[in-house]
Amino acid sequence: MSLRLRLFLILALATGAIWFSAVMWIEHSTRAQVTKVLDARLAEAARMVSSLLSDRRIAMAGDGSPVAIPLDPHGDYAHQLSCQIWSLRGTLVGQSEGAPAGQLTGAHGTGYSESTVGGETWRVYTVENAALGVRVMVGDSIGVRERLVSGVIEGLLLPMALILPLLAAAIWISLGKGLAPMHRLAEALRLRSPSDLAPLPVGPVPAEMRPMRSALDGLFARLSRAREAERDFTAFAAHELKTPLAGLRTQAQIARIAPDAATRTRALQNIERSVDRTDRLVRQLLELSAVEREGAAQDQLDLGQLSAEICADLAPLAEARDVMLVSDVPEGSAQPLAASGFLLHAALRNLVENAVQASPVGAKVRISCDGKVLAVEDSGPGIPEALRARACERFVRGTQGGDGSGLGLAIASAAMERLGGELRLPPSDGQGQRAELHLPRAG
């Protein structure tokens, strides 16, 4: 269902409910007012006949036969009234033309009453004239009243009923005009090329659409930054892979044309180092991609066991570089995490691997835990202050160079961000670097 049709139905239902309420109020009010007027006419006519009798302008027959009672001839309604004059002894002494054969009402005294005469219900007003010893009754048929009231109400409601289709058409057209900016925005988005992430064209928009337009512009900006980051990532990855692959080719050529066994052995050793570097780069690229895809989960981790596993995994690398790995995290120190344990494993492993790569021969890399903080300390040169702000960006390496790919801190930072924690790199004095993983508290 379109938004226009949905709004139209809502407005039509609301308008219809208001219209129906107005109709009911008009019908009730009109009926009450017309009934009040008709009752007043009954009382007026009865008093008029009683007054004419008192003034002897209407003479009663001396032989006791009923006389004809003239009513006010002005207006059609006067012809619907019926009048009877009864003596207080119960004898009919006069009546108007068309009056029913039976007594209009059996009520005594002055006032209104209703009665059924000849199968028809009448509304009657009675006046007693004690001086003349008569009772004047003027009434009209309830059926006639209903037809009169219905005619008045129909005359009022017919124009309102005719207005309804015009009102519906006006609502439909107005909604079309009001939603036109949204249609223009939708058309602009439909015609936009997939590569166009520029902000939407500046133009007047309703206040209700400004948040949506701002959100779309923000989305385009984020997509543009993400696409730029992916483009840079692809370019850097291609460059980083190209370097060891070129080295492999060169060393393979050297090994093929080596004049002696020693030269061939050195070339093969260089090939092994290039393969190791390429393997580490590819592994870190895959790990970074996995970290960015990893969803939230609830794990109960033993930080001591996690540290021991990482130390065991990186023991060959540490031995090759003559670096001692030490874990001061006791096993059994479980921590509830509001995310997958894979993320913390990736963050801690890359920090330890970076520390081993940065440490000099014979140095020590220490893993410790203080409450919600896992720390890795090395004995390397530390991160220069000029690079500290960009240390967690992809492919950013220290000034000492080395075999690093510049992805370790980026992976750790991304993993902690997904985990809901934080990677902190406190300033160092050039005598080692401390990296802290601030773990989130489970919700």
User: Worst-scoring range by mean pLDDT, 214-223, 244-253, 330-339?
Assistant: 330-339
Task: Give exposure, 321-360, as e/b (b: 16+ Cβ within 10 Å).
Answer: bebebebebeeeeebebbbbbbbbbbbbbbbbbbbbbbbe
Q: Residues 221, 327: one domain? A: no
Q: Residues 41, 123: one domain? A: yes
SS3 at position 399: coil
Q: Residues 346, 415: one domain? A: yes
Q: Is residue 203 domain-resident?
A: no
Q: Is residue 202 domain-resident?
A: no
pLDDT at 160 over 90: no
Q: Residues 271, 312: one domain? A: no
The candidate with the shortest Cα–Cα distance to 403, out of 226, 256, 274, is 274
Q: What is the predicted pLDDT for the residue at 376?
A: 93
CA distance linking residue 138 with residue 44, whole number of Å: 9
Q: What is the CATH number of the domain that holds 394?
A: 3.30.565.10
Residues of the chain with pLDDT > 90, as a percent, come to 6
User: Worst-scoring range by mean pLDDT, 94-98, 174-178, 202-206?
Assistant: 202-206
> Structurally, how many domains does the chain consist of?
3
Q: What is the CATH number of the domain that holds 86?
A: 3.30.450
Mean pLDDT of 287-308: 71
Instruction: Look at 436 and 247; give whichever has higher pLDDT.
Output: 436
Give the CA distances from residue 80 to residues 42, 121, 144, 148, in Å, rounded to whole numbers and listed in that order: 11, 14, 8, 11
Q: Is residue 181 domain-resident?
A: no
Q: Residues 353, 256: one domain? A: no
Q: Residues 248, 282: one domain? A: yes
Q: Residues 244, 382: one domain? A: no
pLDDT at 417 over 70: yes
Q: Residues 338, 258: one domain? A: no
Q: What is the predicted pLDDT for the residue at 366?
A: 93
Give the global pTM: 0.47
Q: Residues 83, 108: one domain? A: yes
Q: pLDDT for 341-399, tens place per residue?
A: 777 888 888 899 888 888 888 899 999 988 788 899 988 887 877 777 777 776 666 65
Q: Residues 13, 125: one domain? A: yes
The last residue of one of the domains, among 151, 167, 183, is 167
Q: What is the predicted pLDDT for the residue at 63?
A: 47
Q: Is residue 228 domain-resident?
A: yes
Asked if 241 and 247 touch (Cβ cutoff 8 Å), the reply is no
Q: Is residue 154 domain-resident?
A: yes
Range(s) of the domain holding residue 221:
193-197+215-293
Q: Which secondary structure element, helix H or strand E, spans residue 94, and what is its range?
A: strand 92-95
Concatenating the DSSP letter of every residue in 329-394 gives: --TT-EEEESS-HHHHHHHHHHHHHHHHHHSPTT-EEEEEEETTEEEEE--S----HHHHTTTTST
Q: Residues 289, 372: one domain? A: no
Q: Residues 314, 426: one domain? A: yes
- For residue 299, name the pLDDT band (cuts at 50, 70, 90): low
pLDDT at 275 over 80: yes
